[in-house]
Amino acid sequence: MRLPKDLVPGSVILILCAILFFVTTTFDSDPLGAAQGMPATHMPRLVLTVIAMLTLIMIAQGVRSGERSAHENPPWRMWGTAGLLALTAISFPIIGVPLAFFAVCIALPLLWGAREVKIVLPFAIAVPFAIYVVFQVLLGLRLPLGPLTVLS
């Protein structure tokens, strides 16, 4: 029996989201009046909810298309992407979020075959800048900035 496309990976993602959402219930929380910016439990829950919703859309599209999974091995680039993202998460405290995302925004397109520097470079500059503005400036969250701390 062949399952609908994206059902198995989507189910794994939903299970991981549920486990991580449960983990957020163990976080210490500040009273809403005392918290500066967003309380510690809100951001991870917001991100996990968005991931779960996008995963449900992915599963629904796979079911609706009628495609069945071929049970073939994922391409090597998928493993390279997973390794790069794991390395990025580890590097946040060392080089900071903006520089880590800059590196990812350069490396991922190159890994997946993009060769247009005039497109990749503005993308690699805009994404970390947007992340900094949204999370640091607008939401008031303190991101690890690494060597860029002197600029804030």
More confident residue, 92 or 121: 121
pLDDT at 103 over 70: yes
- The number of angstroms, rounded, from the C-alpha of 127 to the middle of its chain's C-alpha atoms is 12
Residue 38 pLDDT class (50, 70, 90 cuts) = low
Backbone angles phi, psi at 4, to 5 degrees: -60, 145
pTM of the predicted structure, to 2 decimals:
0.61
Distance CA 139, CA 81 (A): 28
Give the pLDDT of residue 15: 93
pLDDT at 34 over 80: no
Place of tokens 């580890």: 90
Place of tokens 């060597």: 147
Give the gyration radius of the chain's Cα atoms: 19
Taking residue 102's Cβ as centre, other Cβ atoms within 10 Å add up to: 19
